[in-house]
Structure 1
Amino acid sequence: MEKNLKFVHKLSEKEIVEVKQLEKINKDDRNVYYKLCPQSLDGTDESVYHILFEEQGRLTAYMSLSTYDIDEMEITPILNGDKDKFLKMYQLAIDKAKQFKAKKILVIVDENDSSMIGILNDLGLNYTFCEYRMVFDGREYHPAVESIDNELSIKDAGSENIKQVTYLDQNGFRCSGESSDEDMGDVNLTDIKLVFWKNNIIGKIKVEEKDGVFAIYGFVIDPNYRRRGFGKKFLKIIINSILKTDYKELYLEVVSENIAAYTLYISLGFNKQSTFNYYEYELKNE
């Protein structure tokens, strides 16, 4: 049987369709979800690369490689538990991670994917943490924003806000146990909105949209302004604006240890859809 292992930066339209089909098959047959966003497939996210495993011209396994952090590479594999296929893709991913000067690899798998977890355990990868993917339901959501503060406003981030965004990334996320895409490297202000109170920037959020699917990333409130209701008001304003569109889905992800954020999201109508486990492999000594 003809087999082909391919590494690419951009997927063709045909390959995008095949990856989505492979993802759907595994979701339907095995109740397994994957940490993939639409931007990671359509080529708009320059930090994402792809490994494709083809047999007889048909895609049978896939791996997403994300280089958001200069020190690590995140890997999301889609396959049906075939260890040989995974090992071939994984070795190629390690080679690419070394080329990118990454210090470690993080393999992300659904906690329901027992076959994939078994493979990672056999390889000696260490479980490090997990995060929840939460999807907005909204049936019990109340759009009214309690006690609107006239001094609370939201604006798009601009180049003049790089210093404040960096401050929020470096301080807000470390306090919550979360991490941010802007922790390392250049600050990307695309799709970032800032919340102001009395002309002070007190928080930020990133909202991405593709084909009616909205994703919330990097939501953080300055530690000096927490426990005052700003975060909930900020999120409700964002959610209300999304509800005015023809949205198909709204989701976010939160580290399981961040109980305060998880509780807030539950109160706003988000439900846990899946749990992603992170397994680490160190490269620095190789």
Structure 2
Amino acid sequence: MQHATLATPHDTTYLAVAGFLARYSNEGTRKLYELDLRIFTDWCRAKGLRPLVDVQRVHVELFGRHLEVERGNGPSSVAHRLGVIQNFYAVCEEDGIIDKSPATRIRLPKVWQDESKTLGLDRLELGAFLAAARVHPDPTRWALATLMGMLGLRVSEACAVQIEDYAHEQQGHRVLRLVGKGGKPATLPLPVPVLRALDAAAAGRTRGPLLRRADGEQLDRRTADRWVKALAKRAGIEKRISPHSLRHSMITNALDAGVPLRDVQIAARHSDPRTTTRYDRNRGNLDRHAVHTLAAYVAGGA
């Protein structure tokens, strides 16, 4: 152990956790990871284990079983929490707080995700949703709908848009500049329908939050969620949707329209194309299977 000037292992753990959480700029992420680590350190304390002194790989594995059996966490929650612990110990190792991480080779539960089962909107439903937003007395609803349903912004990104963020031109296009998930900057072109919606919400203003609540304050996620559900009802959409359903709808409809996967991945700002592929509702369509094109190609050379 290093940092011997610290009075007790508890002090070391506290500072190690604080340093780990300080790496994340997003407040929601910090709170989530803090909760995950608190659950783990409380379990260690109940077992008489000091997290940075006594814990070995077997203890982390047993904590995973504790999450499954005693806390009733599903595979995705267990994988998430064990992943946070892995990252925490990896940082502690890099910082010289511990000699070697006890969580490097722990076994994470397999998590199968199928984004195609998420309640997104098909082409007609998305069109009806945008139409209901366009005729709403408050143009802010229209802007919110287009930012998420046509540009694929996450709800937190849409709420954070400032009027100055889309007062730019690049390569002959009006563009929106934002900082997305993980602090990654992005530049998105604005189609004419989207630009009209944003200008309507700005209502002549040149600075400040684009999307505002009725009290003039910047739109928040909770209000955005309420607006999305109300617009879906006005559009006659019976399925229960959330703001993420609109981002999901942008991706699935782009794929359904025949936009190449690589282009949709860039538009969605996914770092891994496999994430985009999971959204493809028609990937199981046998009519689109690659063997048909291959058979025709080979037959042409026979």
Query: Which structure has the higher relative contact order (CA within 8 Å, separation 6+)?
Result: 1
Greater Cα radius of gyration, structure 1 or 2: 2
Which structure has more helix as a fraction of its residues? 2
Q: State TM-score, norm by structure 2.
A: 0.28
Q: State TM-score, norm by structure 1.
A: 0.29
